Amino acid sequence: MADLHLDRIYIRDLLVRCVIGASEEERREKQDINVNITLHADLRTAAKTDCLEDTVDYAEVKKKIVAMVEQSSFHLVEALADRVADVCLEDPRVYRAVVSVAKPGALRFARTVEIEITRDRLDT
């Protein structure tokens, strides 16, 4: 589907906790992670029908992401972001997921380190 016809749903500043990091020290306890998600979908039908069944249920997507992240353990934020994108693309109405994952305090003198990935349905 061409980008021209895709609308966007934004989930901003989703705060989750998980074991993440490469060092032994980082892996001792869950850390705070900030996730931002953009779901690309065609929302025209939902706009016309005003029915939840015709759109991406972003509350359900959020629940699945939180459950996955809170039970996970990753060495890299890249791997975490990729798995979040996979969860987003489980909904057949989502054609593209843009996911950024921020790890506050990862670098001394920096507020956060953040990566962003884009995954399309065709990539899965």
**Residue 64 to residue 7: CA distance in whole angstroms:** 21
d(CA 1, CA 45): 15
Residue 63: active-site member: no
Spatial CA neighbour of 21 closest among 61, 77, 70: 77
Please, are residues 112 and 102 in contact by the beta-carbon 8 Å criterion?
yes
Contact 47, 54 (CB under 8 A): no
Active-site residue, from 48, 63, 64, 103: 103
Identify whether the C-beta of residue 102 lies closer than 8 Å to the C-beta of residue 55. Answer: no
Point out the residues that are catalytic.
103
